[in-house]
Amino acid sequence: MSSDHSLNIRLFTKSYCGWCHEAIDWLEDRGHAFENLEVISNPAAMKELVGLTGRSMTPTIEVNGEVLADFGVDELEPWWRAKGFDKLS
């Protein structure tokens, strides 16, 4: 895995969420280190998710302060590129 010194990646997930597992796979396949915050077993993470987005939908990713909420993995790559994260990793 790469060290991703310039990327701070936090992924809010639910263990039973298929889209969440796809997002995890997407990040892992590209060698990105990330913090997985499973919101069902972690009430503090759920509170933070709701504070960030105003809702409890997952997956939600926060990268260097930029947030993409309630996405499918097909939306992740275009967002990632539009934010320029592909140039940082």
**What span, in angstroms and rounded, lies between the C-alpha atoms of 65 and 37?**
15
Helices marked H in the chain: 18-29, 43-53, 73-82
In this predicted model, what pLDDT tens digit does every residue of 45-60 receive, in sequence order? 999 999 999 999 999 9
| Residue 54, both tokens | 């105003």
Task: Kindly list the structural domains of the chain, giving each domain's residue range(s) and its CATH number in brackets, ordered by start.
Answer: 9-84 (3.40.30.10)
Q: 76 with 23: CB under 8 angstroms? A: yes
**What is the share, in percent, of the chain residues with pLDDT greater than 90?**
89
In this predicted model, what pLDDT tens digit does every residue of 77-88 receive, in sequence order? 999 999 999 887
